[in-house]
Amino acid sequence: MITVASLTRTYGAFTAVDDITFTAEAGRVTGFLGPNGAGKSTTMRIMVGLTPATSGTAHINGQRFSDLPNPGLEVGVLLDASAQHAGRTGREILTVAQRMMGLPARRVDEMLELVSLTPDEAGRRVRHYSLGMRQRLGIATALLGDPGVLILDEPANGLDPAGIRWMRDLLRGYADQGGTVLLSSHLLHEIEVIADDLVVIGQGRIVAQGTKAELLRAAGTLVRTHDAPRLATALTASGLSVVPSTTTGGTDALRVDADPELVGKVAQQAGIALAELRAADGAGLEEMFLELTADTQREGAVA
């Protein structure tokens, strides 16, 4: 289990992480989402002791990462697949980690087989690896100590569709066997497929959290009409909260904090024809994410 409580990290006058609290439970995959610069990577670096917190705590199974006697046996970490030693071979990188953790040598071959790196690939220097191969090696290193917790930042980056499917199945099986997975990714569809719980962060603060089903169910109603401004006026006059839908590619759709029956009734009373009316959860995670973080987008910023 990962427990984050009132976590804050400031850099001078800038607050990168602002008093966030959440839990990633054992046996579940927790998706950690947010736009660029939201604070995801900073939070994960604090969890694994690479960045000190200004205040608050981040505990793994009740302990700080720095207090774990042999961290690799309890926490598998992949924050940057490109940070591996480019002059070593994949096998050498795993062997160094295996020896540091005090594991039997056979674990190296077991991990290479698990992540589908061939003997020839394992013998190459990492500078000759593709990004996808580096991701596989990073996942192998994270899993080497058979930890109960995984903290992964963009692990699907550079993987082809078959590799993404492989990673999804691997992490789903890991959680189903009781492991804790905290997964950050910009591939929202992959998060939607695999995640049990979601934590959404924007400008350093949590803007939503809960089970995936709860958050999508609370998304309201999506309605489309050729007279969106007049419908928005009618809905607002009825006391309903209305915002433009951000993922439809046009200006004719609205997202309404009400059930479809009520939205349809207001439209009928106003004499407005509708082209589409449905529960917004059908729009999926992408639309929910963009709605929740519409005011916190900082494209190009460092997370």
Residue carrying structure tokens 């394992």: 122
Strands of 180-184's sheet in order across: 75-78, 149-153, 180-184, 29-33, 197-202, 205-211
Do domains 2-210 and 218-292 share one topology? The answer is: no
Rounded Cα distance between 163 and 159, Å, is: 5
Give the per-residue pLDDT at 251: 64
Question: What residue segments make up the domains of the chain, in order of their start?
Answer: 2-210, 218-292
CATH of 218-292, one of 3.30.70, 2.30.29, 2.60.120, 1.10.155: 3.30.70
Burial class (CB in 10 A: 0-12, 13-18, 19+), 205: middle
- Cβ-based neighbours of 8, under 8 Å, separated by 6 or more: 15, 17, 18, 19, 20, 53, 54, 55, 56
- Cβ-based neighbours of 128, under 8 Å, separated by 6 or more: none
Q: Of 214, 152, 150, whose CA–CA distance to 177 is shortest?
A: 150
In the structure encoding, which two tokens stand for residue 106, read together? 């056979």
- H/E segment holding residue 167: helix 161-176
Give the per-residue pLDDT at 214: 77
pLDDT tens digits, 246-289: 655 456 888 888 888 899 999 999 999 999 988 765 556 776 77
The larger pLDDT score, comparing residue 296 to residue 185, is at 185
What would the mean pLDDT of 127-138 be, rounded to a whole number?
94
pLDDT tens digits, 4-53: 999 999 999 999 999 999 999 999 999 999 888 889 999 999 999 999 99
Q: Of 149, 58, 137, whose CA–CA distance to 50 is shortest?
A: 58
Give the per-residue pLDDT at 11: 96
DSSP one-letter string for 23-49: EE-TTSEEEEE--TTSSHHHHHHHHTT
Q: What is the pTM of this model?
A: 0.79
**Which stretch of 63-77, 122-136, 287-301 has the lowest confidence by average pLDDT?**
287-301
User: Per-residue confidence at 302, pLDDT binned at 50, 70, 90?
Assistant: very low
In the structure encoding, which two tokens stand for residue 259, read together? 């059930």
Residue carrying structure tokens 């690939």: 121
Give the number of other CB atoms < 10 A from CB of residue 300: 7
What would the mean pLDDT of 198-223 be, rounded to a whole number?
84
- The proportion of the chain whose per-residue pLDDT surpasses 90, expressed as a percent, equals 66
In the structure encoding, which two tokens stand for residue 10, read together? 């400031």
In the structure encoding, which two tokens stand for residue 50, read together? 């690479």
Domain spanning 2-210: which superfamily? P-loop containing nucleotide triphosphate hydrolases (3.40.50.300)
pLDDT tens digits, 39-64: 999 999 999 999 999 999 999 999 99
C-alpha dihedral over 295, 239, 244, 192, to 10 degrees?
A: 70
